[in-house]
């Protein structure tokens, strides 16, 4: 009952780079199974050396890091198509944790075969590096947000970012609504704001009629103004490879 890669619903989306059948079959051979986990389940742990790598197929999660002072930094949100565990694959140890926020389905790859796969499929090796570069790009953007933007802008930036990501996955409805099953605390930890301040800033966005957020669903009423507040241009999602 695992999804055959050739029939992968994600791969059909335009955000993901096209591959031909033989390439997809090579990935299929690399894939060792599928994993389903529920909300709150830890998938990868900071400091651990996971024997598996994953590609998120459905559901949402988050990556975070816990500091010595007990505080938590959410590194980013995990969407379908994200490749998880590369750090452990390359550096033998995860530097952050990943956990599921909703039910998730993941493709599972064995790390023991990772090296062989990487060596035998140069184009896929290239894709993996590409993925790492894309990740690096996002982290750079996030860093710039935390470092240089006000609370309001950061929030607007994060919502815009997630909107675009969900849009690329076809999850945004005609009215600008999409699933956002995270807690305010998660957003706060991602943006370096306190929970209370996040809540109050969110209220401002609501008052300005830019967004509303209830029962795990975000409605963006005015994307242009929101993106403007964020101080980010509204570019389409980058095409990215999918393993």
10 Å CB burial of residue 92 (0-12, 13-18, 19+) is: exposed
Which option in its own copies, DNA, none does residue 132 bind, with CB closer than 5 to 8 A by kind? its own copies
The residues that touch its own copies, with contacts defined as CB under 8 A, are 65, 67-69, 71-73, 75, 86-87, 89-91, 95-96, 115, 118-119, 122-123, 125-126, 128-130, 132-137, 139-144, 146-149, 189-192, 231-233, 238
Number of chain positions touching DNA (CB under 7 A): 18
- Which of 195, 219, 225, 237 binds DNA (CB under 7 A)? It is 195
Q: What are the structure tokens assigned to 199, written together?
A: 């809540």
- The residues, ordered by sequence, that sit 6+ positions from 2 with a Cβ below 8 Å of its Cβ are 31, 33, 34, 107
Using CB under 7 A as the binding rule, whether residue 197 contacts DNA is answered as yes
Closest by alpha carbon to 116, among 91, 93, 94, 89? 89
Determine if 152 is a binding residue for DNA (CB under 7 A): yes
Tokens of residue 230, six digits = 């964020």
Strands of the 211-214 sheet, one edge to the other: 177-179, 217-220, 211-214
Closest listed residue to residue 166, CA positions, set 219, 121, 120 = 219
Residue 102 site contact among its own copies, DNA, none (CB < 5 to 8 Å, cut-off depends on kind): none
The answer to whether 200 contacts DNA (rule: CB under 7 A) is yes
Binding mask 166-185 for DNA (x = CB under 7 A): -----------------xxx
Q: How far is the CB of 83 from DNA (least distance, A)?
A: 27
Q: Yes or no: say if 85 and 94 are a contact pair by the CB < 8 Å rule.
A: yes
Indicate which of DNA, its own copies, none lies near residue 194 (CB less than 5 to 8 Å, by partner kind): DNA
């Amino acid at each position: 009952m695992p999804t055959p890669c050739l029939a992968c619903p994600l791969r059909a989306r335009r955000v993901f780079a096209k591959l031909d059948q033989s390439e997809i079959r090579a990935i299929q051979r690399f894939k060792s199974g599928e994993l389903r986990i529920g909300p709150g389940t830890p998938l990868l742990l900071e400091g651990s050396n996971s024997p598996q790598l994953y590609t998120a197929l459905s559901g949402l999660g988050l990556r975070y890091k816990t500091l010595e002072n007990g505080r938590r930094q959410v590194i980013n949100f995990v969407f379908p198509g994200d490749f998880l565990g590369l750090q452990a694959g390359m550096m033998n140890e995860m530097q952050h944790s990943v956990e599921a926020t909703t039910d998730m389905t993941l493709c599972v790859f064995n790390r023991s075969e990772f090296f062989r796969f990487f060596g035998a499929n140069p184009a896929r090796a290239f894709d993996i590096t590409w993925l790492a570069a894309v990740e690096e790009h996002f982290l750079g953007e996030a860093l710039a947000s935390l470092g240089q933007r006000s609370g309001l802008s950061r929030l607007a930036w994060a919502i815009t970012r997630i909107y675009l990501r969900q849009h690329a996955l076809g999850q945004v409805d005609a009215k600008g609504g999409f699933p956002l099953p995270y807690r305010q605390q998660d957003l706060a930890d991602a943006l370096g704001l306190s929970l209370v301040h996040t809540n109050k800033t969110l209220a401002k966005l609501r008052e300005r009629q830019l967004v509303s957020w209830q029962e795990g669903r975000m409605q963006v009423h005015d994307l242009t103004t929101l993106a403007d507040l964020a101080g980010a241009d509204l570019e389409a999602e980058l095409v990215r490879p999918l393993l």
